[in-house]
Amino acid sequence: MKLDILAIGVHPDDVELGCSGVLINEILRGKTAGIVDLTEGELGTRGTVETRYAESAKAAKIIGVQVRENLKMRDGFFRNDEEHKLKLIRVIRKFRPEVVIGNILDDRHPDHGRAGHLIADACFLSGLMKIETNDDQGNPQEKWRPKFVLHYMQDWYHEPDLLIDISDVFEQRMESVKAYTTQFHVSSSGDEGPQTYISTPDFLDSIIARARMLGKRIGVRYAEGFITEKKIGISNLDALLLRET
Ligand SMILES: [Zn+2]
């Protein structure tokens, strides 16, 4: 199955927090998109692997992606090495996305930065013919290099290279985040386990505040921010949001 966009997150919920607005937007515009989670998030303090699968399936439905896969790398301990790069290259060649949106390159959680570099490296290497991989049926895969790799912002603030208006789909974006009922402050029942950095009402407030702040920079209500190592090219000035800022 060929996808226009492949979003990759090391933990189930990274994609929802980082770029679900853009995914929803693009899917509404008729693009095809999928999500690949690198780990099952088994080290998360709250919830279990089973609850996380149920939550990520619910979130995928809200976003509207065509496919969601889990590569079952080890939460906390996966490496950016040959074995893990090949695993990811196989997925990139399977879905042949034009754009990959993945973890940030440097963040509070060391998994995020390591995954960001793993994703960027695998996207490049996937375009090299002499790296041979096989699909699930054992057939040789063709090389494929996504044209663009964007990294979504996570905990730490990074000055974005690209800001995308997500105002029209913001409610749906927050619904996809709240699908992770064990991870975030969704109800006040307090029976989901110990409080963590991300389970307080403050954390969800900070997600909304970040989107508002980024939106303000481009004259819209909500935006998501991305960094990219390549220069962004546009075909004509119609791609510019013409707002007073
Ligand atoms: Zn994460």
Which of 14-28, 54-68, 135-149, 191-205 has the lowest average pLDDT?
A: 191-205
62-91 CB burial, b ≥16 within 10 A, e <16: bbebeebebbebebeebebeeebbebbbbb
> With 60 as the cut, is the pLDDT of residue 190 above it?
no
| In the predicted structure, residue 188 carries a pLDDT above the cut 80 | no
What's the CA-to-centroid distance between 26 and ligand 1, angstroms? 23
How many A from CA of 7 to the centre of ligand 1?
Answer: 13
Whole-number Å distance, alpha carbon 215 to ligand 1 midpoint, is 23
CA of 9 to the centre of ligand 1 (A): 7
pTM score: 0.95
Tokens linked to 155: 């905990």
Residue 204 CA, ligand 1 centroid: distance in Å: 14
pLDDT at site 37: 98
pLDDT digits (tens, 9 = 90+) for 74-113: 999 999 999 999 999 999 999 999 999 999 999 999 999 9
- Determine the distance separating the centroid of ligand 1 and the alpha carbon of 109, expressed in angstroms: 7
Q: How confident is the model at residue 199 (pLDDT cuts 50, 70, 90)?
A: confident
Q: Could you tell me the distance, in angstroms and rounded to a whole number, from the CA of residue 14 to the centre of ligand 1?
A: 5
pLDDT band at 198 (very low <50, low <70, confident <90, very high): confident
Coil, strand or helix at 10: coil
List the structure tokens of 96.
Answer: 């042949």
Give the distance (Å) from ligand 1 centre to CA of residue 216: 26
